[in-house]
């Protein structure tokens, strides 16, 4: 019963904070420096891990689909399946999970430490709303940069599939590329980008929220960090279902 | 008669089953230096946090300059807090910023000052707490006493009319305690501010207070000038004072 109450209380806080993030966004002072800093942390510093994950996902997709489609003599569709899977689903979900692990946890730990060392109280006392100063740049930075990472992941994943199909499985490169683009349209790409933006918002907001309400010193910071990753990952998977239902 | 600067009316606060404040009534006049004393865990910090709405009471009112601060929305309270400066027990300095950036922070956020004015004011504030030359140091490079003094400098940057000090001398050696007390007196005189200090250090309380209030069992059990306070007919207070004298 207590867990159920905690869940609804956390959900209520989520929407309350989201509302305040939206209310504070257009109000000065605009902290462009923080926004750029956070975009660097979330975007630039996540490029290697997102690229590597997308590359191997594309490669595995290519191996798996080729093996199965061979049974139906339909191996020429490997390119289409890899591209559609990457662009519509895999790149944004896997990219989101990776960023949740890398950046959501960091946000939870950073704000959690600030909470237990009274730095968040100090912000409030210095007439600075912590949601304005800490959360607004983090939420927007993540919501804006995750789609860029996901597009990069799309390209690398499709390329990974191409490399395996052509070099390892002997597919015709021209035919592979033509089937890759044949069934792919702008809507597929956009749906992945929209999902990524929503996932970015969820990751940052949940990470910040967990850190913001940290209690209990160093152990509390540890709990908030773990919770930031777990809750953001679950939120990504659940929201992915509903977004897919709405977008297709 | 002018209205009090700070007025607490029947403030009650509990955490789970533990009653911390059980109907606190306290009035602080403009320009007055009030020291709130009490044993460890008596709720002094909780009381101080109510004055600046870092905590909200379960019942009762906190009235500052005639305004019930618990009726303000989150944007109004952010503006209202510009009247306050608060120095935290461990300084609560922003650990990612240098000493200079910490003191400049409230000035930059207020958007009322030009860069030159900010530079001058930061230098002035650091001189007031005897910390010239420490501008480029990080908080991790400072001793406990220095961190508190940087916290003081940051608290006074906007020349607040109400200064709150949370256990400013706890854990410091007697020489530094005396220095901190002198700084508090100097800040009060130079800024003509109303100050509320919480401490369990009686020597410090007698040095800096116009009036001493004792918090015990969730209530203010006595409030009097330092001279009158020494002769209050209450065994707990007498024990507290004599215990402190033995300690010192």
- Cβ of residue A128 closer than 8 Å to a chain B Cβ: yes
Tokens found for residue B212:
């001493």
- Supply the ipTM of this predicted assembly: 0.89
Closest CA to A64 of A80, A50, A78, A85: A78
**Is residue B1 in some structural domain?**
no
Q: Is the dihedral of CA B34, B40, B41, B42 positive or negative?
A: negative
Residue B246 or A106, more confident: A106
Q: Is residue B95 part of a domain?
A: no
Kindly state whether B139 is in contact with chain A, defined as any CB-CB distance less than 8 angstroms. Answer: no
| Residue B128 located in a structural domain | no
A133 contacts in chain B (CB < 8 Å): 109
CA distance B187 to B155: 10
Between chains, do B86 and A28 touch, taking CB under 8 Å as contact?
no
Residue B144 domain-assigned (yes or no) = no
Chain B touched by A34 (CB under 8 Å): no
pLDDT in tens, B204-247: 999 999 999 999 999 999 999 999 999 888 888 888 888 755 44
Tens of pLDDT along B73-123? 988 998 899 999 999 988 999 999 999 999 999 999 988 899 999 999 999
Q: Tell me, what's the pLDDT at B129?
A: 87
Tell me the β-bridge partners of B212. Answer: B35, B224
**Domain edges within chain A:** 2-24+33-247
CATH number reported for the structural domain that contains residue B14 in this entry? 3.40.50.300
Question: Residue B77: its pLDDT value, please?
Answer: 92
Which tens digit of pLDDT belongs to each residue from A206-239? 999 999 999 999 999 999 999 999 999 999 999 9
Any A CB within 8 A of B231 CB: no
Which residues of A fall within a CB distance of 8 Å from B163? none
Question: Residue B205 corresponds to which tokens in the numbers above?
Answer: 């309380």
Say if B241 falls within a structural domain.
Answer: yes
User: How many Å apart are CA A189 and CA A191, to the nearest integer?
Assistant: 6
B154-167 mean pLDDT: 93
Whether B88 and A122 lie within 8 Å, measured CB to CB: yes
Torsion sign (Cα): B45, B51, B56, B57: positive
Rounded average pLDDT over A134-147: 97
Interchain CB distance below 8 Å, B92 and A121: yes
Q: What are phi and psi of B13, to 5 degrees?
A: -150, 130
For A118, nearest residue in chain B (alpha carbons):
B92
* 8 A C-beta contact, residue A142 and residue A38: yes
Report helix, strand or coil for B101. Answer: helix
Tell me how crowded residue B68 is: count the other CB atoms within 10 A of its CB: 12
In a domain, B104, yes or no: no
Nearest CA in chain B to A117: B92
Beta bridge partners of B59: B12
**Strands, E, within B108-233: which ranges?**
162-166, 194-199, 211-216, 219-224
Residues B179-193 have a mean pLDDT of 86
Task: Compute the average pLDDT of residues B147-151.
Answer: 93
3-class secondary structure, A108: helix
Residue B244 confidence (pLDDT) = 59
Number of domains in chain B: 1
Q: Do B64 and B83 touch, CB atoms closer than 8 A?
A: yes
Mean pLDDT, all residues of chain B: 91
- Using a CB–CB cutoff of 8 Å, tell me whether A119 touches chain B: yes
Number of neighbouring beta carbons within 10 Å of residue B170: 17
Query: A interface mutation test: which of B80, B94, B107 has the most A CBs within 10 A?
Result: B94
Tokens encoding A12: 């209520």
* Alpha carbon distance B195, B28 (integer Å): 9
CA angle in degrees (0–180, nearest 5) for A90-A95-A100: 130
pLDDT on residue B149: 92
- C-alpha to C-alpha distance for A17 and A12, rounded to whole angstroms: 9
Higher-pLDDT residue of B192, B244: B192
Neighbour count for residue A218 (Cβ, 10 Å): 10
Domain assignment present for B148 = no
Cα–Cα distance between B78 and A20 in angstroms, integer? 13
Q: What mean pLDDT, rounded, does chain A reach?
A: 95
Residue A157 has pLDDT above 90, yes or no: yes
Q: What is the reported pLDDT for B187?
A: 82
What residue numbers bound the domain in which B45 lies?
Answer: 6-90+160-247
Query: What pLDDT does B103 receive?
Result: 97
- Do the beta carbons of residue B235 and residue B243 sit within 8 Å? no
User: What is the pLDDT, as a whole number, of residue B248?
Assistant: 47
- Taking one residue from A and the other from B, the number of pairs with CB-CB distance under 8 angstroms is 58
**Residue B119 resides in a domain:** no
Instruction: Give the DSSP letter of residue B34.
Output: E
Q: Is A6's Cβ below 8 Å from some Cβ in B?
A: no
Which candidate from B75, B79, B92 shows the least CB-CB separation from A119? B92
Touching check for A121 and chain B: CB below 8 Å? Answer: yes
In which residue are the tokens 């379960």 written?
Answer: B58
What mean pLDDT is predicted for residues A113-122? Answer: 96
Residues 167-186 of B with CB under 8 A from A: none
Q: How far is B231 from chain A (nearest CA, A)?
A: 36
**Chain A nearest CA to B1, separation (Å):** 29
Q: How confident is the model over B38-60, as pLDDT tens digits? A: 988 889 999 999 999 999 999 99
CB spacing of B90 vs A118 below 8 angstroms: yes
- At residue B143, does pLDDT exceed 80? yes
Residue spans of alpha helices (H) in A27-135: 32-42, 47-70, 78-85, 91-99, 105-116, 119-125, 130
Determine what percent of chain B is predicted with pLDDT higher than 90.
68
B contacts of A20 (beta carbons < 8 Å) = 74
Does A215 touch chain B if contact means CB atoms closer than 8 Å?
no
The pair of structure tokens assigned to B77 is: 């309270």
pLDDT value at residue A15: 95
């Amino acid at each position: 019963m207590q867990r159920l109450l905690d869940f609804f209380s956390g959900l209520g806080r989520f929407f309350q904070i989201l509302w305040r993030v939206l209310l504070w966004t257009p109000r000065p002072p605009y902290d462009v420096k923080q926004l750029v800093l956070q975009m660097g942390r979330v975007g630039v510093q996540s490029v290697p891990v997102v690229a590597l994950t997308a590359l191997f996902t594309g490669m595995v997709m290519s191996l798996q689909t080729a093996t199965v489609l061979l049974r139906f003599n339909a191996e020429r569709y490997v390119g289409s399946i890899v591209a559609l899977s990457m662009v519509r689903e895999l790149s944004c979900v896997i990219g989101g999970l990776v960023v949740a692990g890398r950046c959501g946890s960091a946000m939870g730990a950073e704000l959690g430490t600030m909470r237990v060392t009274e730095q968040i109280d100090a912000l409030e006392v210095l007439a600075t709303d912590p949601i304005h100063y800490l959360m607004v740049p983090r939420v927007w930075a993540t919501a804006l940069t995750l789609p860029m990472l996901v597009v990069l992941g799309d390209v690398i994943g499709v390329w990974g599939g191409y490399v395996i199909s052509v070099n390892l499985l002997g597919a015709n490169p021209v035919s592979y590329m033509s089937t890759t683009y044949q069934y792919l349209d702008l809507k597929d790409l956009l749906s992945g980008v929209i999902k990524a933006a929503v996932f970015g918002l969820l990751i940052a907001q949940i990470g910040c929220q967990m850190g913001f309400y940290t209690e209990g010193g160093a152990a509390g910071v540890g709990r908030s960090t773990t919770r930031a990753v777990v809750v953001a990952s679950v939120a990504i998977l659940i929201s992915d279902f509903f977004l897919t239902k709405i977008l297709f | 008669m002018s209205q009090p600067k700070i007025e607490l009316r029947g403030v009650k606060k509990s955490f789970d089953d533990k009653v911390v404040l059980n109907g606190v009534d306290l009035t602080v006049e403009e320009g007055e230096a009030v020291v709130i004393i009490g044993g460890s865990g008596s709720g002094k910090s909780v009381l101080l946090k109510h004055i600046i709405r870092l905590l909200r009471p379960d019942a009762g009112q906190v009235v500052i300059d005639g305004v019930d601060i618990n009726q303000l929305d989150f944007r109004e309270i952010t503006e209202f807090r510009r009247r306050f400066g608060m120095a935290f027990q461990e300084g609560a300095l922003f650990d990612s910023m240098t000493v200079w950036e910490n003191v400049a922070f409230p000035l930059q956020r207020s958007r009322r000052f030009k860069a030159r004015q900010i530079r001058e004011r930061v230098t002035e504030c650091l001189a007031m707490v005897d910390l010239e030359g420490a501008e480029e140091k990080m908080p991790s490079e400072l001793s406990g006493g220095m961190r508190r003094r940087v916290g003081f400098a940051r608290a006074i940057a906007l020349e607040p009319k109400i200064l709150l000090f949370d256990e400013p001398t706890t854990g410091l050696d007697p020489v530094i305690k005396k220095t901190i007390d002198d700084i508090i007196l100097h800040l009060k005189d130079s800024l003509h501010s109303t100050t509320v200090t919480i401490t369990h250090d009686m020597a410090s309380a007698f040095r800096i207070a116009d009036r001493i209030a004792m918090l015990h069992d969730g209530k203010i059990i006595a409030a009097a000038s330092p001279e009158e306070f020494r002769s209050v007919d209450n065994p707990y207070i007498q024990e507290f004072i004599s215990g402190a004298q033995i300690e010192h």
